Amino acid sequence: MTPRRSGRRGIPPADRYHRRLLPGVVGAVALSVALGGAVGGCADSAALGLVRQACGHVQRSLTFYRASESATNPTTAARDRNAAQSQLETAAPLAAEAAGEAPQWQALMATLSENSRLPEANLMPALQQQCAAVRSGGTPGPTLPPTTLPPVPGS
């Protein structure tokens, strides 16, 4: 007996099957990559929106904090410091959610999480630098420590 040959010369039946299957597989892989990029882009976009909200609270906190420093009335200064603290507390969960969606925002989340332990004067340089990335298109740069730290109140 002779081996059976395909209807097309020189192409075994199994190879013909794979040639028909290959364009569909390539198309499916390309579609998966495109959808993965789109979903990843949505996550980054959602994270950027959360970071913008958090940085809005950081900016308001800085405004209150500066007002507290220049206030002549101790009651007004205390009220402004409390308002500044409240704004940072509101920003922290937004930054945490953003960091969960896009890891480039983990530094912002970590800095805001120090709010209860460090004076706001020590956090502001880092927060301003991290939030500046939002205004420049959403890619945070490295966070560098300030060259000189402001004095800690009460020491």
For residue 148, the one-letter residue type is T
* Residue appearing with tokens 């480039």: 104
Contacts of 152 (CB under 8 A, 6+ apart): 119, 121, 122
d(C-alpha 121, C-alpha 74), whole Å: 18
d(C-alpha 62, C-alpha 121), whole Å: 9
User: Closest by alpha carbon to 72, among 84, 60, 80?
Assistant: 80
What backbone torsions phi and psi does residue 8 show, to the nearest 5 degrees?
A: -95, 140
Digits of tens for pLDDT over the chain (155 positions)? Answer: 555 655 556 666 655 555 555 455 444 444 444 444 433 444 477 899 999 999 999 999 999 999 999 999 999 999 999 999 999 999 999 999 999 999 999 999 999 999 889 998 999 999 999 998 787 765 554 444 444 556 666 65
Predicted TM-score (pTM) above 0.85: no
